[in-house]
Structure 1
């Protein structure tokens, strides 16, 4: 029996009828109503269909946040094709790899990236055609011109079933090559409902959201969820993360929700502009992608009030693992503060902590966080080896380590890949990072393990001081010595002006390691044990 479901492209059509004149998309001086956006979606879908794009075909999109990026998602869905967005900060050869690995048939590329277009065109096999987004000198056509030519043509939503793919969601590739997680129409219908239920309850067309992250990943899921309720999406006018402009837009448009990651939220809260613009309209400030350090959490709560929502979820589960709502974000430490938790299992999802054999562990015992439920993806595209590693007895293995308390609250202790072993003891960097961040001079820190001939691995900490403060190695080591066991103490402390961040706003340990090497700060290791 077939399980036909709503084509997600129908969201634009529904809103185009019911909320025709209501704003759907705001970007600088451009405002599109839902009727206008739906008309552009149909026009782009008609153009793609005229070039042979149909159900199951992959459409690769490499673009900065813009109207064409937003429209391309719904247009691709409407055709029953698969949207394959990339992070626009990737290098040309990385995008070329994503093109070939996804089997892309069409390529929509922002005009600022001619080198990426050339790399994709030179790949084998290459997409059948490339369309440029905006000004530039490459491509057989330009997306805006395609939309203008086909405006007025109506394209009906192609019938889709529950397991038909709609989106290849690339993992951030913190280790090895990025993998395409296959998201389906049925699965994403559940994800939208779950996000609305658990993250932004009560959202309607009266709400709006500011986009401060690439639409290619979590922000795109967030905007799709809000679109399902007719809420407007507002983009920053340029790809530069202008914090003052972000707060100005929040005040001007009475923005009610914001999706970001802890590092960006920290920047928003610590910038003086937060006190210069009215942000009382904010109801939900959602952060995900990594746990938020307790000291940063306290400051955000003190600045913004009880609006924080945390969720834990990988792209493979489309964010649907746990939630910590505003009511459980407590500003003061004490018996009612569940410090360090990422929340409880999301609606209709089940979370379990498992040992290396796949058995559920006892309450409070550390293991791997595993999950089942309707939000779990359909598997990695054309990657049976990765699928075999990621699923066990039907459970998706997140690769994150943690434990669960008696009431079902989950605590992440770190990535399995971040753990290092020193002198036979397992050491989890996050625990040490939390302690270092309680020092008043430290704004950011990354702890990682490095090879050592005597101990196997030893820890080093890279710290960033708050503006106007200073600290040195001896001071932080002395401060930390009273807070952690001696075997967990980092061997060295380095001080940088900033930590390297990925295109997703995270601080991958591999980037920190590469930067240590580039700065020559690993030379001292060469003499260890000699």
Structure 2
């Protein structure tokens, strides 16, 4: 199984069908195949050898999709960069992965210059934007026009497809290694769940660096469906794209769905009749939001997918039937669904033994979609994947029907607006402030974001600091979505007998009236 295979099939079966539509640009599968083969040749000419990592830092576009196919076509490995990271975080991921080629668009050309200047090794930057090519960069379209097409390297099976950097529980991002076979297994699972009917049009509204969007995009890719793009999510942009491009499927997080259904554009009489399905993830959807969404989008199905980067990314599916009024009476809406095709799910205790139904433990997943491991981190890999089971760090219970209900996180992670925020990363920055003696970071309930990042700090004797000061300090050092949105300054932190901060005690006042300890 290999990611480039659907392009060969599409060119053979429907070469003149529209593959990609981005603004005024449109490509058939035939023209896309030629551009992919030429871009692969250009990357090889720039030094990309088999297995080399090639990074991209850009908003959603057809060129981003070409990059994701051309890199493996030429024998390389994709490294999609988080567009919300700071320059320091981006530089770490580039240097740790050994990425020496970087594609950027207009939004990140200035950041790319700084990355070139700060990189310890030469960094070749390819400008994939629409303006004049900046000095010191190579032009994307010129490279394609001047390159010879090369044959598909046919990287497959256990070969590395992508390196996806996520936040790290130890304070540094970690690279998740996803194979071609692992990614393909997730795609086939979603295809078997009926999430990509024929003649669909998928709208890229979620960021394309996320493996979740790659998964949803990939099943349309297997079907030979058309894909369209908006640079980044806005409610207005989604509405306009659905109407303009007749999109049938879109991936959103519950926060985005809430913003979409409450936006004035939804009351303007726009023609959204093409939309068939909204797939969402990161957290369950609140029933009032679902009610509003179903009222303004009658006939649209809602499907929840639960997973993580390390699972390429799919673990479970809660299908559309449990989102209807009748389906909700069966009590499964707050679940994350059941094991998808190709996966096994267990709820286990600290020793890795399965616990009885209804008992809270850790979600463990086994299947061909499990990651190859963490890049250059065999110890963390061995601690996370044991006897073939990926230990997710999510606490949950399983009911008698096999549905899992997430209730807490074993790993110290916050999900804010669909983005993973690891407390350790934020705590490392908070601790750098000269006025802070000790600190802890937790997730607290947020109507807007699901969870909000909250810092609790103890000051050094005689020091003065406001919450606003600490938030500004953090914003200079890490991505904005990771920064605390609120701060408590306290005399001391609650500690366990072993001297560890009792985050359960810090969370308790905020979550005391809630059944679940996550949003």
Same fold (TM over 0.5): yes
State the match for 2:79 in structure 1.
84
Work out the CA distance in 2 between the residues paired with 1:224 and 1:319.
12
Work out the CA distance in 2 between the residues paired with 1:349 and 1:527.
45
Work out the CA distance in 1 between the residues paired with 2:492 and 2:207.
43
Work out the CA distance in 1 between the residues paired with 2:18 and 2:321.
31
**Residues 407-426 of structure 1 aligned to structure 2 (within 5 Å):** 407-416=401-410, 417=412
Work out the CA distance in 1 between the residues paired with 2:32 and 2:43.
16
Work out the CA distance in 2 between the residues paired with 1:59 and 1:389.
28
Alignment pair present for 1:144 and 2:129: no
Cα 1:223–1:448 change in 2 (3 A) is closer
State the match for 1:480 in structure 2.
none
The Cα RMSD (Å) is: 2.9
State the match for 1:312 in structure 2.
306
**Residues 415-454 of structure 1 aligned to structure 2 (within 5 Å):** 415-416=409-410, 417=412, 433=445, 446=451
Work out the CA distance in 2 between the residues paired with 1:341 and 1:40.
43
Work out the CA distance in 2 between the residues paired with 1:515 and 1:174.
20
Work out the CA distance in 1 between the residues paired with 2:413 and 2:8.
45
State the match for 2:419 in structure 1.
none
Q: Is the Cα contact below 8 Å between 1:93 and 1:116 reproduced in 2?
A: no
Task: Tell me how far 1:91 sits from its aligned partner.
Answer: 1.8
Alignment pair present for 1:337 and 2:331: yes
Q: Is the Cα contact below 8 Å between 2:3 and 2:156 reproduced in 1?
A: no
**Residues 475-486 of structure 1 aligned to structure 2 (within 5 Å):** none
Alignment pair present for 1:516 and 2:508: no
Work out the CA distance in 2 between the residues paired with 1:280 and 1:252.
11
Task: State the TM-score, normalizing by the size of structure 2.
Answer: 0.78
Cα displacement string for residues 118-157 of structure 1 (whole angstroms, at most 9, x for unaligned residues): 343245542552222223424441111101222xx33211
Partner SS state of residue 325, structure 2: coil
State the match for 2:498 in structure 1.
none
Q: Is the Cα contact below 8 Å between 2:255 and 2:450 reproduced in 1?
A: no
Work out the CA distance in 2 between the residues paired with 1:117 and 1:443.
32
Task: Tell me how far 1:213 sits from its aligned partner.
Answer: 1.4
Q: Is the Cα contact below 8 Å between 1:199 and 1:309 reproduced in 2?
A: no
Partner SS state of residue 191, structure 1: helix
State the match for 1:266 in structure 2.
258
Q: Is the Cα contact below 8 Å between 2:249 and 2:276 reproduced in 1?
A: yes
Task: Tell me how far 1:35 sits from its aligned partner.
Answer: 1.3
Task: Tell me how far 1:99 sits from its aligned partner.
Answer: 0.5
Work out the CA distance in 2 between the residues paired with 1:172 and 1:220.
18
Alignment pair present for 1:191 and 2:179: no
Decide which of 250, 254, 276 is 2:242's aligned counterpart: 250
Work out the CA distance in 2 between the residues paired with 1:63 and 1:57.
20
**Residues 342-357 of structure 1 aligned to structure 2 (within 5 Å):** 342-357=336-351
Q: Is the Cα contact below 8 Å between 1:418 and 1:448 reproduced in 2?
A: no
Q: Is the Cα contact below 8 Å between 2:455 and 2:486 reproduced in 1?
A: no
Alignment pair present for 1:37 and 2:32: yes
Cα 1:282–1:306 change in 2 (3 A) is closer
The one of the two structures with greater contact order (alpha-carbon pairs below 8 A, sep at least 6) is 2
Task: Tell me how far 1:451 sits from its aligned partner.
Answer: 5.6
State the match for 2:274 in structure 1.
281
Decide which of 363, 373, 380 is 1:369's aligned counterpart: 363
Count of residue pairs the alignment pairs up: 444
Cα displacement string for residues 368-404 of structure 1 (whole angstroms, at most 9, x for unaligned residues): 1110001111111111232133123321111111100
Work out the CA distance in 1 between the residues paired with 2:327 and 2:282.
24
Work out the CA distance in 2 between the residues paired with 1:54 and 1:346.
35
Partner SS state of residue 102, structure 2: strand
Q: Is the Cα contact below 8 Å between 2:106 and 2:128 reproduced in 1?
A: yes
Alignment pair present for 1:65 and 2:60: yes
Q: Is the Cα contact below 8 Å between 2:22 and 2:61 reproduced in 1?
A: yes
Partner SS state of residue 226, structure 1: helix
Partner SS state of residue 113, structure 1: helix
Q: Is the Cα contact below 8 Å between 2:349 and 2:362 reproduced in 1?
A: yes
Cα 1:108–1:405 change in 2 (3 A) is same
Mind listing any 5+ residue stretches in structure 1 that lack a counterpart? 421-428, 454-499
**Residues 483-498 of structure 1 aligned to structure 2 (within 5 Å):** none
Stretch of structure 1 that moved more, 31-40 or 274-283: 274-283
Task: State the TM-score, normalizing by the size of structure 1.
Answer: 0.77
**Residues 128-167 of structure 1 aligned to structure 2 (within 5 Å):** 129-134=124-129, 135=131, 136-150=133-147, 153-167=148-162
Q: Is the Cα contact below 8 Å between 2:453 and 2:485 reproduced in 1?
A: no
Task: Tell me how far 1:60 sits from its aligned partner.
Answer: 1.1
Work out the CA distance in 2 between the residues paired with 1:399 and 1:106.
34
Mind listing any 5+ residue stretches in structure 2 that lack a counterpart? 415-422, 424-441, 459-474, 495-519
Partner SS state of residue 331, structure 2: coil
State the match for 1:208 in structure 2.
201
